[in-house]
Amino acid sequence: MFRHCCMKRLLAALLAFQAAVFFIVATVIGKDLYSAYFSLSSISDKSANETLALNNSVPFCRSITDDRLTNRTLTNSTGVSYSSGNDHSTNEADTLNTFLVEYEKYCSSHLIPMASNITTGNARSLCLCPCVPDALLGRINTKFETPQFRELELLHTELSLGGSWTPQLCIPRHRVAVIIPFRDRQLHLRTLLTILHPMLQRQMLRYTIFVVEQKEPTVFNKGSLMNAGFIEARSSADFDCFIFHDVDMLPEDDRNFYVCSSQPRHVGSHVDKFNYTLIYSKAFGGVIAIRPSQFKKTNGFSNRFSGWGGEDDDMYNRIKAQKMTVKRFPSAVARYTMIRHSRDVGNPNNPNSVNAFRYNPHRYAADGLNSLRYKLVANESRALYTWLLVALPSHIQPNAAYRRYGRIEQQRVGTGGGWSGSIFPGNFLITKITLEIIIVFICHCENMIHSGLHLALEIRI
């Protein structure tokens, strides 16, 4: 009877001990996941709050005369030519003029630069860069002989290493990161950079171009590359606008401003391939502009669309799920030439792209930035851009265990590091390894108690 009572008490103590340990573990994990979830879903835009205190008193630089900028764009040394905009029809010209007037009103009242945009170079300037700079030239001829990289480097000595530039004669209103997912498209990249650098400088933007190249696996995954580019760019500087840009999309008008607004914007909405018409109302591919806070709310791009197609339509639904709307500029300026090319062997049509049209908010919460896994193989600051070489897992499939436990380190991983990715960006979470250690510890304690129980019974007997 005594032995039976003793055993019951020891077993009750064991169960109580296990329950207490599991309660503590669940509380810690639950607290971290709770705070992480709400930090993601209600993320505040840090860059939007760090604005100039003198937003109403800082005047605009109405006329910018930078001889270096003007001479470089007008010498036509790269074969790129421009028109003054006089080739528009009457209706199109009226639409364009109305758009520019309305844009300037919006920009002047809403697009106030961050305090961090004041640099040692432009600190002496007491005026903001104009919303519609005088340096804009209008339509761009995208048919030209593409220069080699070395020629472009000699032409753009004004760039900082890593493909960065900032105006020196005024305080820029925007700090923009251009993310270009890439693999085996050297000619397309050179063509795009030939147009992009002069255009962004005429728009008086502070910008950096990131080329995110996929090393492996064989099948291209654009969504994961853009997610990785977002994380790496955010770790390098405090950008207030992200432009996700296909390498084969060439802008035809420099009045199509590469800036972000209160809602995500479909920048490359009218393409020559589709006769400059919006192919369908939910289109959201090619070139898009989105603020960091907006991108985090959507949980980024899906990682499930390997091959061509799907991730852009899926992003449209993610934006709708967060009660945001997609904005577009008029076709008079939002014009693009799509470089013709054959389908890449490593970028076949995605048979699952039709799933992108299915509205599924539950999947959006589990698939995206919080399920991203990648390895940063290289990070090089080149003359024309920052090059990020990324390796992705062989099978981009959501890993339930990985999503559940995450990892106890920052999002970013250095060159040659391990797989990067966490449950919720920017938070420290309990890892699978940590939980396994806790479980082993509990089992060890249980074995010790059982051993003590048997020993006590043997001594009693």
Catalytic residue among 32, 248, 252, 254: 248
Q: How far is CA 443 from the centre of its chain?
A: 43
Residue type, 182: F
> Residue 431 burial by CB count (10 A; 0-12/13-18/19+): exposed, middle or buried?
middle
Q: Is 340 a catalytic residue?
A: no
Cα 290 from Cα 267, distance rounded (Å): 10
Contact 294, 387 (CB under 8 A): no
Q: Which of 232, 253, 254, 312 is catalytic?
A: 312
Give the other-Cβ count within 10 Å of 355's Cβ. Answer: 16
380 is catalytic: no
Which residue is associated with the tokens 């003029």? 97
Which amino acid belongs to residue 36?
A: A
246 is catalytic: yes
User: Catalytic one among 240, 246, 252, 314?
Assistant: 246
Catalytic status, residue 45: no
223 backbone dihedrals φ, ψ, rounded to 5°:
-60, -45
Q: Is 67 a catalytic residue?
A: no
Which of 151, 308, 344, 404 does the annotation list as catalytic?
Answer: 308
Q: Which residue among the candidates 92, 190, 338, 446 is catalytic per the annotation?
A: 338
| Contacts of 99 by beta carbon, 8 Å cutoff, 6+ apart | 329, 330, 332, 333
Nearest-CA neighbor of 359 among 316, 311, 327, 326?
Answer: 316
Composition of the chain by helix, strand, coil, percent to 5: 40, 15, 45
Distances in Å between the Cα of 170 and the Cα atoms of 9, 54, 119, 132, 178 are: 78, 14, 10, 13, 21
Q: How far is CA 319 from each of CA 85, 123, 263, 379, 382, rounded to the nearest angstrom?
A: 34, 37, 9, 30, 34
CA distance 343 to 388: 23
From 343, 444, 450, 454, active-site residue: 343
CA 222/CA 243 separation, integer angstroms: 14
**Pairing verdict, β 375-381 and 265-266:** unpaired
Q: Are 371 and 404 in contact (CB under 8 A)?
A: no
Residue 232 known to be catalytic: no
Query: Contact, 420 vs 443, CB < 8 A?
Result: no
d(CA 274, CA 90): 23
**Tokens at residue 177, please?**
């990161």
* Residue 275, number of CB atoms within 10 A of its CB: 8
| Known active-site residue 436 | no
User: Which residue is it, tokens 């502009």?
Assistant: 289
Q: Which of 232, 253, 311, 313 is catalytic?
A: 311
Which among 3, 68, 110, 341 is annotated as catalytic?
341
134 has catalytic annotation: no
What are the catalytic residues? 246, 248, 308, 311-312, 338, 341, 343
